[in-house]
Chain A
Amino acid sequence: MSRIFALVDCNNFYASCEKLFRPDLKNVPMVVLSNNDGCVVARSKEAKALGIKMAVPVFQIQEQIEQHGILLFSSNYALYADLSCRVMTILEGLAPKVEVYSIDEAFLDLSGLGSAVSLLEFGQNIKETVAQWVGLSVCVGIAPTKTLAKLANHAAKKYPATGGVVDLTQRERQQRLLAITPVTDVWGVGRRLGKRLDMMGIKTALDLAKCVPATIRNSFSIVLERTVRELNGESCLDLEELPPTKQQIMCSRSFGSRITTLEQMSEAIAQYTARAAEKLRQENQQAKVLTVFVQTSQFKQSQKMYSNSVTGELVLPSSDTRELNELAMQLLKRVWKEGYSYSKGGVMLSDFYDNDTYQPGLFDDVAKRPNNTKLMAVLDEINQSGLGKVFLARQGMNNTWQMKREYLSPAYTTCWADLPKIN
């Protein structure tokens, strides 16, 4: 049976989320900034029209910001995650199978639907429903493979005449679109790969589609071979409905201000460890291995650079914040070097086991802390209730290194105190 996939992708997702409760921002150019308010990570269509580029540091566009009155927003992940979840829930109600691909994208499996309904109308219905229910605009690309669905979506975004929905199930239309699409716009073809292909005279997506798959496998990779097959309408990539169980959990951030003392770094590492342990418990897993890493800024060439990580192992896997933190503090002392100004640090947990399924060695010292599972459950309950925080003293009270979020909007949908105010 021939397959049909749709890719649904929210337009200017972060920027649109910020505008949802702010009708006054309707045609106002605005950008959303990365952690620590460093770089532009999302732009409204007005900011795009002003030529603001993705990932540009804020200080480089200061002049444009003032000249055009571009508004700045810090990343409000609570808001974006809630609205994303709503969009995905709607998609799950409309399509038989959904793969949540990222915070603002989902693949749908529509195989077998084509004979019953018009795919174009189906796509338009998705677009209208999401707009009505959540107030966000999406584009829909429909095609026999995921790679072509990506391209169809790209076209739906790029050409307003499509109305935001492109049905690319006909071979003729596929060929026409491929011919005008640069090869670097193909899913999985990055800039570097694009350069190599360009040197071989492969400039458009159609050029790539016409390559012999076996040749591509030999001179590139099996991954690119699959892309060639997918461009020709042969589905190689299936829908992945269930996210694979996590193999590792990472918690790391850039600091709001540079860290120069072990005291401060201990606070930061303790806090990331606590966060990672909380995530671990949510997955009902225990970890045996923990890595701590620290690094100085990669950008400031004038300063001494240092970057290092060290990994340690617990006797028994654990999800107890106290046990993990004890190890993290030992490891930090080994990796820490005085005299540097650090810009980033983090912890990674790995080697996971389901709760209490680990078989200890005969001579392992296996004394567990009593009631630790219960204690951690209480800790999580308090911390997730929004009423207050309970944490290890090591995490510190006065975190001057905390992430900068000067332009943070309210958590409109996830906090009672932040509800939109209506007159």
Chain B
Amino acid sequence: MQISILGKSCSATYSGEHQLAIPLFLDRVPAGFPSPAQDYVERTLDLNELCIKHPAATFFVRVEGDSMIEAGIYPNDILVVDRSVRAEHGDIVIAGFHGELTVKELELKPVTRLVPRNKAYQPIEVPEGCELEIFGVVTSVVRNMRRKTSAKS
């Protein structure tokens, strides 16, 4: 197995005001035996650049519940939600339904449904005439792999 070190990310504030400039090392590193000898600075990487295309339209939400685990969305994950994207068939969306915000996969054909990605749950049919409000389209998932140190600030 090979990995490439891309460099570390900067803090995830969307404002971009406090970006940390961290150098990117362009050097392929065989796992286990990194050799930093030929490192040279190419540019810096900002995780915001990767996850956030429209800062003014991007919101973060916290996941509760396990209805989307087969789509790789787990409780306590932070979802990056872009409101400027028009929701299409197959998108994972945040929707307001029955007075509650929920994350589900959106199906528009043959009928409009909100589909959980967990076999234990049933799809939610959205009857015609019933208002379904799309809050935004989920574009990324942020998960802390060491739950003890998850962001609390």
Answer whether residue A416 sits at the interface, using C-beta atoms and an 8 A cutoff.
yes
Q: Would B56 and A134 count as touching, CB distance under 8 A?
A: yes
Expressed in whole angstroms, the minimum distance between the Cβ of B109 and any Cβ of chain A is: 22
Asked whether A21 is an interface residue with its Cβ less than 8 Å from the other chain, the reply is yes
Does A366 reach chain B (CB closer than 8 Å)? Answer: no
Q: Are the C-beta atoms of A133 and B79 separated by less than 8 Å?
A: no
Residues of B within 8 A of A412 (CB): 59
Residues in chain B near residue A93, CB distance under 8 A: 56
Distance of A417 Cα from B63 Cα, bound (Å): 12
Q: State in angstroms the CA–CA spacing of A54 and B64 once bound together.
A: 38
Task: Knowing A24-B99, A423-B103 are in contact, say whether A134-B62 is a contact too (CB < 8 A).
Answer: no
- Majority secondary structure of chain B interface residues (helix, strand, loop or mixed): strand
Q: Is A86 an interface residue (CB 8 A)?
A: yes
With contacts A135-B83, A420-B62, A422-B61 taken as known, whether A23 is within 8 angstroms of B99 at the C-beta atoms is: yes
Indicate which residue in B54, B62, B83 contacts A421 across the interface (CB closer than 8 Å): B62
Q: Interface code A407-423, partner B: CB below 8 Å = 1, 0 otherwise? A: 00000110111011111
CB distance B56 to A89 under 8 Å?
Answer: yes
A387 within 8 A of B: yes
> Cβ of A423 and Cβ of B151 under 8 Å apart?
no
B94 within 8 A of A: yes
Instruction: Indicate if A90 sits at the interface (CB-CB under 8 A).
Output: yes
Contacts of B67 in A (CB 8 A): 423
Known contacts being A23-B133, A132-B83, A135-B83, is A419 close to B56, with CB within 8 Å?
no
| Chain B residue, CB-CB nearest to A384 | B18
- Find A133's partner among B60, B84, B101, B151 (CB 8 Å cutoff): B84
Tell me the minimal C-beta distance from A82 to chain B in angstroms: 10
- Distance from A92 Cβ to chain B, minimum over Cβ atoms (Å): 9
B83 contact set on A, CB distance < 8 A: 132-135
- Residues of chain B with a CB closer than 8 A to A89's CB: 55-56
Does residue B71 face the partner (Cβ distance < 8 Å to A)? Answer: no
Could you tell me if A419 and B78 are in contact, using CB atoms closer than 8 angstroms?
A: yes
Task: Using known A-B contacts A24-B100, A133-B84, determine if residue A423 contacts B56 with beta carbons closer than 8 Å.
Answer: no
Q: Give Cα A413–Cα B67 distance, bound, in whole angstroms.
A: 24
B25 in the interface (beta carbon within 8 A): no
CB-CB nearest in chain B for A413: B59
Of all chain B residues, which has the CB nearest A412?
A: B59
Q: Hey, which chain B residues are within 8 Å of A21, CB to CB?
A: 101
Contact (Cβ within 8 A) A419 B61: yes
Chain A residues in 8 Å Cβ range of B63:
421-422
- Residues of chain A from 14 to 72 with CB closer than 8 A to chain B in the complex: 21, 23-24, 26
Min C-beta distance of B67 to chain A, whole Å: 7
B61 partner residues in chain A, CB cutoff 8 A = 419-422
| B23 beta carbon closer than 8 Å to chain A | no
Cross-interface CB contact of B54 among A24, A87, A133, A385, cutoff 8 Å: A133
Inter-subunit contact A423/B65 (CB<8 Å) = yes
Nearest residue (CB) in A for B86 is A132
**A125 → chain B, closest Cβ, in Å?**
13
A24 to B96, CA, bound (A): 8
| Residues of A with C-beta under 8 A to B74 | none
B94-128 interface code vs A (CB 8 A; 1 in, 0 out): 10110111110000000000000000000000000
Q: Which residues of A contact B100 (CB under 8 A)?
A: 23-24, 423
Q: Which of A355-413 contact B (CB under 8 A)?
A: 385-387, 412-413
Interface centre among A132, A134, A420, A423 (most CB of B within 10 A): A423
Give B79's nearest chain A residue, CB to CB. A422
Q: In the bound complex, do residue A422 and residue B102 qualify as a contact, i.e. CB atoms below 8 Å apart?
A: yes
Chain A CB within 8 A of B149 CB:
no
Q: In whole angstroms, what is the CA distance A353 to B98 when docked? A: 56
Q: Complex: how many Å from CA A387 to CA B64?
A: 24
Tell me the minimal C-beta distance from A284 to chain B in angstroms: 15
How would residues 114 to 153 of chain B score, 1 for a CB under 8 Å from any chain A CB and 0 otherwise? Answer: 0000000000000000000101000000000000000111
CA distance A164 to B65 in the complex (A): 39
Q: Which of A24, A26, A387, A423 is close to B153, meaning CB atoms less than 8 Å apart?
A: A387
When the two chains form their complex, are residues B56 and A26 in contact, meaning their CB atoms are under 8 A apart? no
Please report which residues of chain B, range 14-56, place their CB below 8 angstroms from some CB of chain A when the two chains form the complex. Answer: 54-56
- Kindly state whether residue B5 has any CB partner on chain A within 8 Å: no
Q: Which of A86, A386, A387, A420 lies in contact with B101, CB distance below 8 A?
A: A420
Most buried by A among B56, B62, B94: B56
B6 at the interface (CB under 8 A from A): no
Q: Is B3 part of the binding interface, using a Cβ–Cβ cutoff of 8 Å?
A: no
User: Do the beta carbons of B56 and A422 come within 8 Å of each other?
Assistant: no
| Subset of 30 A-B contacts with CB under 8 Å | A23-B96, A23-B101, A23-B135, A24-B100, A86-B56, A90-B57, A93-B56, A132-B84, A133-B54, A134-B57, A387-B153, A415-B153, A416-B60, A416-B151, A417-B153, A419-B62, A419-B78, A420-B59, A420-B62, A420-B101, A421-B62, A421-B64, A422-B61, A422-B63, A422-B79, A422-B101, A423-B64, A423-B65, A423-B100, A423-B103
Nearest 10 pairs between A and B by C-beta?
A: A23-B96, A24-B99, A133-B57, A89-B56, A419-B62, A86-B56, A423-B65, A422-B61, A416-B151, A386-B153
